[in-house]
Amino acid sequence: MKVYQISFSPTGGTKKAADILTGALNGETEVIDLTNAHGNFGSVALTKEDIAVIAVPSYGGRVPGTATERLAKVHGNGARAVLVCVYGNRAYEDTLVEMLDTARQAGFNVIAAVAAIAEHSIARQFAAGRPDAEDSKVLAGFAAQIQAKITAGDTSEPALPGNRPYKKSGGAGMVPKATRDCVGCGICAKECPVGAIDAQDPKKVNGNVCISCMRCVAVCPHSARKVNPVMMTAACVQQDDYAIMKPDNSCGCHLIFWKYIEVCRWLIIENCPGMRLTENYLIGLSATRW
């Protein structure tokens, strides 16, 4: 019996959670990396005796399409599967039921499912540093319960939260771009899970192919790949409560004010087209919780 860890983890948070769970299960581990753009996933075949820890991040409350496509190619052959949905502390909505459906279609017998929080890969101030020591303890506790279920030979499928049809999937639409600090080393192109970055000229990126996974931002050794700050503000807004207000300033721009305004003060200043919002103006607002 082997324990297969089958994960899609562009920036490592999902893998961290999967590692904690996989490491606590009995059996030799084999890792299948679904972010490998050149992976031959159709050649991965498990047996009925095997266990699979299938881990994906939630993107907009859904399984990333690339992960679904690649997982669907694996041959589960009746292996028992533990699903791990990892999210950035907003919500995971229909991710688990979509994972369940995909895993079933690939021939897995789902016996357990876990939702875990990891640092938000776009807005990294959310759930920063997680999974942390406290999360590790909780995950280890889940792993012990799952191992007990395996040992008892209980193959019942758990009831999972989520809706069918799933919520509409929408791309984050954020395509990180190379900045002037880019030295053209090509690491981002090599690491991109979908081959969206031109290997010969990493400044070129195919926005239609990019899945906004942020791996290129995470792996760049020169911090030279960035998301447009306006798009980033929009992502933060999705993440948290917000208010749109028209500030009393002469350029009259409408800006989106985030709930904890002090955190994104710099973004607001940077993006006010008339540059009329001053630090003082914002400090005046920062006492207000929206």
Q: Which of 115, 194, 232, 267 binds ligand SF4 (CB under 6 A)?
A: 194
Q: Which of 24, 31, 138, 187 binds ligand SF4 (CB under 6 A)?
A: 187
* Residue 204: CB minimum distance to ligand SF4, A: 10
Site string for ligand FMN, 98-127 (x = CB under 6 A): --------------------xxxxx-----
* Residue 125: CB minimum distance to ligand SF4, A: 19
Nearest to 78 by CA among 57, 59, 106, 102: 106
Would you count residue 172 as binding ligand SF4 (CB under 6 A)?
A: no
Q: Which of 20, 21, 214, 224 binds ligand FMN (CB under 6 A)?
A: 214
Nearer CB in complex with ligand SF4: 15/215:
215
Binding piece for ligand SF4, criterion CB under 6 A, among 19-27, 49-57, 173-181, 271-279: 173-181
Count of residues of this chain found to bind ligand SF4 when the rule CB under 6 A is applied: 29
Between CA 223 and CA 148 the distance in angstroms is: 44
Between CA 27 and CA 29 the distance in angstroms is: 6
Q: Is 124 exposed, middle or buried (0-12, 13-18, 19+ CB in 10 A)?
A: middle
Between CA 132 and CA 137 the distance in angstroms is: 9
Nearest to 53 by CA among 34, 36, 69, 66: 34
Binding piece for ligand FMN, criterion CB under 6 A, among 12-20, 133-141, 190-198, 258-266: 12-20
Q: Which does 184 bind (CB under 5 to 8 A by kind): ligand SF4, ligand FMN, none?
A: ligand SF4
Between CA 145 and CA 142 the distance in angstroms is: 5
Q: Which of 63, 110, 192, 277 binds ligand SF4 (CB under 6 A)?
A: 192
What residues form DSSP beta bridges with 258? 242
* Eight-class DSSP state of 275: -
Would you count residue 222 as binding ligand SF4 (CB under 6 A)?
A: yes
Amino acid making up residue 91: A
Would you count residue 12 as binding ligand SF4 (CB under 6 A)?
A: no
Can you give 177-208 as a three-state secondary structure string?
A: EECCCCCCCCHHHHHCCCCCECCCCCCCECCC
Q: Which of 2, 75, 77, 89 binds ligand FMN (CB under 6 A)?
A: 89
Nearer CB in complex with ligand SF4: 141/184:
184
Nearer CB in complex with ligand SF4: 226/276:
226
**262-282 core/surface letters (b: 16 or more CB in 10 A; e: else):** eebbebbbebbeeeebeeebb
Would you count residue 67 as binding ligand SF4 (CB under 6 A)?
A: no
